[in-house]
Structures are given as C-alpha cells and as structure tokens.
Amino acid sequence: MPLEFAQRIRRIPAYPLASGYDLGADVAMLASNESCFAPLPEVADAATRVLAATHRYPDPSYSALRRALAERYGLPAARIALGNGSCDILLAAGEALLEPEAEVVYAWPAFSVYPHLAAASGARAIEVPLDSDDRHDLEAMLTEVTVATRLVLICNPNNPTSTSVELERVASFLDEVPAHVCVILDEAYCEFSLALGDPFASLELLRRHPNLVLLRTFSKVYGLAGLRAGYALCGSDDFRVAVDQVRQPFYLNVAAQAAAVEALRYQDEVERRVGKTIAERISLQEELRRLGLWVAKSDANFVWLRLPEGVVEGDVVSGLADRGVLVRAGSKLGREGSLRVTVGTAKENEKFLAALAELLG
C-alpha cells in the first residue's frame, strides 16, 4: 500500500531545482542568481569560529543579528523577522496569512515559490500578467485586491524578468491597498538596482504602512547563499510574531547567524562588488543586443532575454550546458522561449556569450 499523503501535496508545484552543483569548478554557474564573489575571509572565519560550540543550540532570539540589522536600518529589533533564507519567511507568511477562501495576489512570471504559498494553504492564487516591458502592472494588480485578499507579493526587482518598478508607483499602490492586507515587497535583489536608489529608500514606505514587509536576503549581494539567511523589515510587530509562531524554534543555524552579522560590517566591499556586477550586467546586455536579442532592462544581478523565433529553448539550454554554461530555461519560470542568466565573472560571461553566439549561428 502506498503512503497516503494530504490532498494538498498534489497541488504543490515542484520548485524548479538547479542542477550542475556536482560538475566541478570549470562550469559557469549562471542558473541561480548567486553572487560570483566568495564571502570575505573575515566572514568565512566568523562562521568557522562558532563551529566549536555547536553542541549548543543556536541563540533562539538571534539577538546579535537582529541587533545588527536594527542598527543598520534604524528599526526596532522586534520588527525584524529572520529566516533560514528569505524563502523560509515567505513560506511562513503563507502559512500564517492564507487558508481556503483567502486570496493571494502576485504578478506572473515572478519568483517560482509564490505559487507554492497558495497551493500549500488552499488559498486562491490570483496571477496578474506583467506589462509589455515585463514589469509589474501594479494598476492591474490593484483591481484584483478584494475583501478576500490577505497577501499581495511584489517582487522588485522581479525574478525572473530582472525589471523593477519605481518606488513612487509602489507607494501609490500601497496608498490604495486596505490596511488589513499584508503586502510583501520582495527585495532580494534591491541592492543591485539603480532605479530604486539604495537599500534604504523603501524604508520610508515602512514608516507609513504597518501592513508592509520588506523581504531581504544574505544569499545574493552578501554572497551567503550556501548558509541560508534571510530577513524581513516589518511595518509592525505582528508579522514577525506570526511567522515565528508557525515555525520551528531554531530556524537559523549558528554559522549563518555569525556570518551574516560579520558580512554587514563590510558595506564598502558590498558596494564595490555591486559596482562590478552592474558594470558586467551592462556589457552583458550590450553584447546580447548586438547578437540581435531582446533583453529586458535589468535592475538585478541577472538578465532575461528572448530567444529568436523558431529557436528551441531546450536545445539552447542543453547546448549551453554541453559547453559548460548553466542557465535557467524560461519554460521552468513561466515563460517559454526566454532565458534567465546570472551575471557572473567577466570570464564566465564571455564563455556564455561565445557559447550562445555559436548555438545561434
């Protein structure tokens, strides 16, 4: 007899897992929007140092990290939620806010985890198509907010399309959303955005909207994807209390906590890396346009391109993999015929461009 699982298991879409993590150092890993920069030695040392005391559980209040984030962003520590990656906070938000009869509104294509929230809770997913520039259509999203809406997700800059919407437009959207609806502004890539200004710009919105949550991560700009640490800056304490209520007590391990605290101390280096990534992004986009491809206006550490009519996406993705370059197929992210490519080192980007040019003839 097979095991009998809960009905909802059948509804939950499988996350499009990246492959290639066992292929060795020569492969250009451009499929998961990770940082191409390794953590600073000081950050790696901080994570290593705490390993000697791992017979103890992690500090369940995460005091040091909460304090460091509170100081950086000028918010009370009680309004900072932490997670085993920001995905952990996202899933906890789904559990805390959604249930059958409730609705969650998000743009599509957007981050692949969003559909999971509705499927896992039995809530209705309202997916609003992006506009013709592959940006969030906030006006259309607003028309979908009803009495049943509990959660709105705005991915800014958006994964997978790399585009962003101006904060003024987000501000106008928030002015119209009823105060009992939680709005998560998923800013996993905000540090790479020129349009949004700096990572402090959206904090002004928090002061005006207690229903707003800014979701951030150490996985991208801080280069700590392998340790899993994310955080949320919340407009009120309620969100943090609720997401903590639905999770296990020790969700953030000691190494992740120590590395994240240390990583926050090197903002000059973070900015230098962002500068390098943006420079590479600009030249990558230019080269792709020179190949005659449509490329979205990227505001993140990845680019989103459309393959020419008649070119089979799967052939390009596997052709690139054969040439040692891993990218993400658009069909796995909600848009057949597109590719999402992380900005890598100059060498990796050149390798990708050469392989793509060869495949497109």
Instruction: Write out the residues near ligand PLP by the rule CB under 6 A.
Output: 33, 85-87, 111, 155, 159, 186, 188, 217, 219, 225, 230
**Which residues are bridge partners to 234 per DSSP?**
213
Whether omega before 157 lies within 30 degrees of 0, making that bond cis, reads: yes
Of 164, 207, 208, which Cα lies nearest the Cα of 187?
164
End-to-end CA distance of the chain: give it in Å, rounded: 53
Give phi and psi for 146, each to the nearest 5: -125, -175
Angle between helices 237-245 and 86-97 (to 10 degrees): 90
Alpha-carbon span 161 to 163, nearest angstrom: 6
The DSSP letter of residue 306 is E
- Residue 334 Cβ vs ligand PLP, minimum distance, rounded to whole Å: 13
- Residue 230 Cβ vs ligand PLP, minimum distance, rounded to whole Å: 4
- Residue 333 Cβ vs ligand PLP, minimum distance, rounded to whole Å: 10
When the beta carbons of 111 and 173 are compared against ligand PLP, the nearer one is: 111
When the beta carbons of 111 and 192 are compared against ligand PLP, the nearer one is: 111
When the beta carbons of 27 and 154 are compared against ligand PLP, the nearer one is: 154
- Residue 80 Cβ vs ligand PLP, minimum distance, rounded to whole Å: 15
Nearest position to ligand PLP, beta carbon: 85
Half-sphere exposure of 294 (CA within 13 A, CB side): 10
Is residue 28 within 8 Å of 20, Cβ to Cβ?
A: no
Alpha-carbon span 11 to 106, nearest angstrom: 18
When the beta carbons of 34 and 280 are compared against ligand PLP, the nearer one is: 34
- Residue 216 Cβ vs ligand PLP, minimum distance, rounded to whole Å: 8
- Residue 189 Cβ vs ligand PLP, minimum distance, rounded to whole Å: 7
Tokens for 7, please give them: 């009905």
When the beta carbons of 34 and 103 are compared against ligand PLP, the nearer one is: 34
When the beta carbons of 109 and 287 are compared against ligand PLP, the nearer one is: 109
